[in-house]
Structure 1
């Protein structure tokens, strides 16, 4: 039986992370997400004995968690390019024993695994009963401006298009994947961050320093044509600039959370078990449809 379709090229991902480190990594989004994750975890109001920082491409999240006092021990499992991980892993095959972890967190990493449903199922198995997954990843609205500008520019100058911006997951799809993995009380929400740049080239330079340049397996290997790049800049400025001339780039950060099932968790009522009619609760007259007995 064949495995999942390889959307992302793992070798290209590793090369882009190494290049980002050499250029000087740009971590402003990761810093924001790490701070938000700590705030969200603080709202849970409990102590987690054993935690894993899964796949986060830089130390920001582990460092932020270390200052909270909410976790007994956090170990970083992730790419070798990060340099300070406790364990280097294959993101598609997690090395965790069943029911061995109280908390798994991840920041801006899970969007580039090829088999996200499989990874979520592995996370579910690794969590102890009432253990928590809390993660942030790029969603489907990320870099829509760049995607549109590339599509139009290549159509006009090259007679066709090639994949340039990754097809990240949709918010509703992620909620369904959490349920499919067997996680209880699943929650998803989105934070849209709009960053402004003096020029589209500055955005592309930032993406390189984030290790986020095109990692798609089906990407075109030939260098980007000069006329395509010139037209890309023109379209981007025409469609996505503000009155001051700066251009916008949207990063859609989707938050997902879910718990390993436990008997103490809230459960939905059985159908028909309600003791109060909706009409009575709303203090409105009940109207029967024609044909109701």
Structure 2
């Protein structure tokens, strides 16, 4: 079977330098009292449930991006040999993986900030053993609607790109097929979190590596912009005093079909 035709020059939407810095910052911020980690914890729990449901018992696994370490620990307790990698340590999902032959690969909260998502999915598929399974979870389209409205209000009549473009389920399913995955499945689920302050919302995003890593830097808000943001947050909160924010988690799964694709 021929390899899928993927452009060799994807647009540069995200900054590799800022992406690595954000991933490294997670480890520092997670040392603070009660750091937010609900997005990754939800993803890890879901991945383990999916593995149990399909009765996939990997002997050798690659875990990408799970900075909590929980997925690797659980797999090791089940007798799986696990390799862990992260962008913070220089792992580049847009380049061919140095190792292969994995029965299972998990990408956790990582693929949403790569420039070449089709290419990254091909690299995952190639690193799988024939018949091996992969699951990728990331924050997708529909996420952070309240923050988007707040930032639009903060920028007033000069809106800037401050939040990432995001992949929806339909596009995810098409990308899996384009990357040559067998038995492709794309689905999504919603997490909701309420906040009493804009500062807490921003802190939660930074602590989980979900902040802005766009290649094009937006201008600083400044005092006036920040005040508009706080007023917009208060308007969103209304009488309850809380803003309910949404995280849409997109999950892509599939298998390496045969040796002919390797």
- TM-score range relative to shorter protein: 0.7 to 0.9
Which structure 1 residue ranges, 5 or more long, are not aligned? 82-87, 264-293
The equivalent residue for 1:146 is: 147
Which residue number in structure 2 is paired with residue 40 of structure 1? 50
Paired residue for 1:184?
A: 182
Aligned to 2:86: 78
Aligned counterparts of 1:160 and 1:104: Cα–Cα separation in 2: 42
Compute the TM-score of the two structures, normalised by the length of structure 1.
0.79
Task: Report what 2:3 is aligned to.
Answer: none
Residue 79 (structure 1) shift: 2.4
Q: How does 1:268-287 map to 2 (within 5 A)?
A: none
The structure whose RCO (Cα within 8 Å, separation 6+) is larger is 2
What does residue 207 of structure 1 align with?
A: 205
Find the residue that maps to 2:129 and give its secondary structure: strand
Structure 2 SS opposite 1:182? coil
CA contact (8 A) 1:109 1:137 kept: yes
Greater CA drift, 254-263 or 2-11: 254-263
Structure 2 CA distance for aligned equivalents of residues 262 and 101 of structure 1: 13
Q: What is aligned with 2:36?
A: 26
Report the equivalent of 1:276: none
Aligned residues: 249
Q: Which runs of 5 or more residues in structure 2 are unaligned? A: 1-6
- Displacement of 1:223 after TM fit? 2.9
Distance in 2 separating the partners of 1:250 and 1:56: 21
**What is the Cα deviation at residue 262 of structure 1?**
4.9
Residue among 221, 235, 248 paired with 2:232? 235
* Residue in 1 that maps onto 2:106: 105
CA offsets, 1:119-159, max 9 Å, x none?
A: 111111222221111121110111121112212320x2xx3
Supply the distance in 2 between the matched residues of 1:118 and 1:75 (Cα, whole angstroms): 21
Larger-Rg structure? 1
Aligned to 1:135: 136
Contact 1:171 1:190 (8 Å CA) reproduced:
yes
Given the alignment of the two structures, is residue 93 of structure 1 paired with residue 103 of structure 2, yes or no? no
CA offset at residue 54 of structure 1?
1.8
Q: In the alignment, what sits opposite 2:59? A: 49
Runs of 4+ off more than 6 Å: none
* TM-score of the two chains, using structure 2 as the length reference: 0.87
CA distance in 1, matches of 2:26, 2:133: 31
1:126 aligns with 2:127: yes
Residue 12 of structure 1: aligned partner: 18
**Contact 2:18–2:213 (8 Å) recurs in 1:** yes
In the alignment, the residues of structure 1 paired with residue 223 and residue 74 of structure 2 have an alpha-carbon distance, to the nearest angstrom, of 42
RMSD between superposed Cα atoms in Å: 2.1
* Distance in structure 2 (CA, Å) of the matches to 1:180 and 1:165: 26
1:168 matched to which residue of 2?
A: 166
Between Structure 1 and Structure 2, the one with more helix by share is: 2
Give the whole-Å Cα distance in 1 for the aligned partners of 2:67 and 2:217. 22
List per-residue Cα deviations over 1:84-132 (Å, max 9, x = no partner): xxxx42221132456x121111111111111000011111122222111
